[in-house]
Amino acid sequence: MKYARVGAVVAAAAIVVAACGGATGGAKPLKIGISLPLSGSSLASAGPADKGARLAIKDFTLPGYTITADVKDHAVNGVHDPQQGAKDMTAFAADPAIVGVVGPFNSSVAKVQIPISNEAGLLQCSPANTNPDLTKGDAGKQLRAKQPDKINYVRVATTDDIQGPAVAQYGFNKLGLKKVAIIDDTETYGKGIADAFAAEWTKLGGQVVGREGAPKGTTDYTAILTKFKDAAPDAVFYGGVTATGGGLVRKQMPQVGLDKIAYLGGDGIQDGPGSVEGSFINIAGAAAANSFSSVAAIAEYPGKADFDAKYKAAYNEEAGAYSASGYACAQILLQAIKTAASKGDVTRESVRAAGVDTNTTFETVLGPVKFDAVGDTNQKIISLYKTDLTAASGKGDWVFDSQVDYK
């Protein structure tokens, strides 16, 4: 009797040990954080990046590890909120399974997130940040101040100090416009790109015949446009996004008699076809014709058709402007994890080091990407788009025009 009982206990213990042993021999769970504004008016622009990133994570396998996405939405009331972004990044930093983060979308959020991820040594890749101060110069250094030798932030989009001038060159050289009036939305991105555009425009020999700042919440641009009309501009440049007025300005231009002239903008107004609620084409309607914008990323790359097909199969919708960028960022993180795994243990530090290594060329859907010493991509391509109101079954869409390589 006694022996039987002892035997039963030993057997049970053996089974438990075997089960535990089996468990530790199984896959190690890793997580990639995704920090993007995914509700309200931000969803149209950032949603595709999120979907792209998740697609890459889903498609990836690494023996010995299971990698999942942990998505945190930092939009409050439909708008990206830096404080929420900071909280989300702190939460990611506190979670030991997180070894990398894709995001954010807006530069103002990146400014509060980078100090946190830098201190945590957490690799962070943004698909869409374009503000140069996030990486370059003293401003960039300030963000990395806690661990200045261990940069952790990289991005696949190029910067506004290239994007703004690219639009200027397109407008001046290709479209032959000479006089431009500029409106910016007084926010970080809008003012930054408008300043870069204006500087380049003057350098090319063009004239800036008017410049006004109209904070978000402005609904009436007729007064500003009437004032511009006096100076007879060939085009109006809008520095900002659709939500802060990009669409409204264009919509009101016919009312003032300025509908014939061109409209230029950055990636802030390139937010999808007219069928998407709240997008530039949707708001501007018929007035959206003769409008031009840019995206701080490559548009025509080998493999685009395949990617678009894969994306559509997965999500039953067309890929957005930043879908491929989101996918690429995730690919970079995953490749860094793979490199770290091949060298030994996957830790935040090993992933970070692999991700920011300036000697590594990452094979991404956008093509080969290398990062410089401060985390900027070597792929300095700006893609230019124009509106075509007959596209997307009559609803209107942005169609690719050309891309310029600024390396």
Partner 1 sequence: MTALPATNDAGRPSVPAGRVVRLLVLLAILGGIAWLAVKNMGAEQATEQLFNALTRGAIYALIALGYTMVYGIIELINFAHGDMFMVGAFVSLTFLGQILGLEGAVTNIPLLIALLAATFLVTMAILALVGVTIERYAYKPLRNAPRLAPLITAIGVSFILQNLVQLVYGPYQTNSPKIFPDTWVIQVGSATVPVLSLFIIGVAVVLMIGLQLFIGRTRLGRAMRSTAADRDAAALMGVNINRTIAITFLIGSALAGAAGVVNGLQYGVARFDDGFQAGLKAFTAAVLGGIGNTVGAALGGFIIGFIEVGATAMGYTRWGPAIVFGVLVIVLVFRPAGLLGQQLGERA
Partner 2 sequence: MSVVTDLSPKAAGGGRMTGLRLTASRHRSWSIVLGIAVVGAILPVLAYLPPFSLAQPANAWIDGYTNAGVFVLLALGLNLVVGVAGLLDLGYAAFFAIGAYTYAYVASPFGNSVLGINLVESLGTEVGGLVFWPMLLVGALVAATFGILLGAPTLRLRGDYLAIVTLGFGEIVPIVFLNSDQLTNGTNGIGGLLRPSLPIIGSFSAINPWPYYITMLVLVSFVMIMCYRLVESRLGRAWEAIREDELAAAANGINTVTVKLLAFALGASTAGIAGVFNASKLVTVSPDQFTFIVSFTVLSMVVLGGMGNFWGVAVGAFVIYTINNVLLKTLNQFFDQTGFPILKDIDFIQLQFLLYGLALVAMMLLRPEGLFPNSRRKRELHTAITADEQDSLTTAEGTTEEGQR
Q: State the residues that interact with partner 1 by CB under 8 A.
A: 39-41, 44, 77-79, 186, 212-215, 217-220, 222-224, 226-227, 229-230, 242-243, 247-248, 251-252, 254-257, 277-278, 282-283, 285-286
Task: Specify whether the CB–CB gap between 101 and 34 falls below 8 A.
Answer: yes
Angstrom CA distances, 291 to 115, 160, 239, 259, 281, stand at 38, 19, 14, 11, 9
Among residues 142, 222, 255, 361, the one that binds partner 2 under rule CB under 8 A = 142
- Among the listed ranges 60-68, 136-144, 224-232, 248-256, the one in contact with partner 2 (CB under 8 A) is 136-144
Among residues 1, 3, 19, 77, the one that binds partner 2 under rule CB under 8 A = 77
Q: What is the DSSP string of 27-42?
A: PEEEEEEEEE--SGGG
Q: Is 188 exposed, middle or buried (0-12, 13-18, 19+ CB in 10 A)?
A: middle
Residue 317 makes contact with partner 2 by CB under 8 A: no
Among residues 62, 65, 69, 146, the one that binds partner 2 under rule CB under 8 A = 146
CA distance 187 to 331: 31
Task: Specify whether the CB–CB gap between 230 and 265 falls below 8 A.
Answer: no
Task: Specify whether the CB–CB gap between 263 and 236 falls below 8 A.
Answer: yes
- Among the listed ranges 16-24, 111-119, 148-156, 167-175, the one in contact with partner 2 (CB under 8 A) is 111-119
Determine the 3-state secondary structure of 80 from DSSP.
strand
Considering only residues 213 through 272, tell me which ones interact with partner 2, judged by CB under 8 A: 213, 215
Strand duo 262-265 + 65-73: pairing: unpaired
Q: Which is nearer to partner 1, 116 or 241 (CB)?
A: 241
Among residues 62, 90, 136, 395, the one that binds partner 2 under rule CB under 8 A = 90
**Which partner from the list partner 2, partner 1, none does 248 bind, CB cut-off 5 to 8 Å by kind?**
partner 1
Q: Which is nearer to partner 1, 39 or 108 (CB)?
A: 39
Residue 76 makes contact with partner 2 by CB under 8 A: yes
Strand segments (E) across 25-137: 28-36, 65-73, 75-76, 79-80, 98-102, 123-126
Cβ 221 to partner 1, closest distance in Å?
A: 9
**Which partner from the list partner 1, partner 2, none does 360 bind, CB cut-off 5 to 8 Å by kind?**
none
CA distance 290 to 388: 8
Q: Which is nearer to partner 1, 111 or 251 (CB)?
A: 251
Cβ 178 to partner 1, closest distance in Å?
A: 21
Residue 278 makes contact with partner 2 by CB under 8 A: no
Q: Which is nearer to partner 2, 123 or 177 (CB)?
A: 123
Record the tokens describing residue 157, joined without a space.
């989009």
**Which partner from the list partner 2, partner 1, none does 257 bind, CB cut-off 5 to 8 Å by kind?**
partner 1
Q: Which is nearer to partner 1, 273 or 355 (CB)?
A: 273
Cα four-point dihedral sign 296, 301, 307, 309 = positive
Q: Is 265 exposed, middle or buried (0-12, 13-18, 19+ CB in 10 A)?
A: buried
Task: Specify whether the CB–CB gap between 153 and 376 falls below 8 A.
Answer: no
Among residues 40, 254, 278, 285, the one that binds partner 2 under rule CB under 8 A = 40
Residues contacting residue 55 through CB under 8 Å, at least 6 positions apart: 310, 311, 314, 315, 327, 330
Cβ 32 to partner 2, closest distance in Å?
A: 16
Closest CA to 208 of 226, 231, 229, 224: 231
User: What is the contact surface with partner 2 in residues (CB under 8 A)?
Assistant: 39-40, 73, 75-78, 82-84, 86-87, 90-91, 93-96, 108, 111-112, 115-116, 119-120, 133, 138-139, 142-143, 145-146, 186-188, 191-192, 213, 215
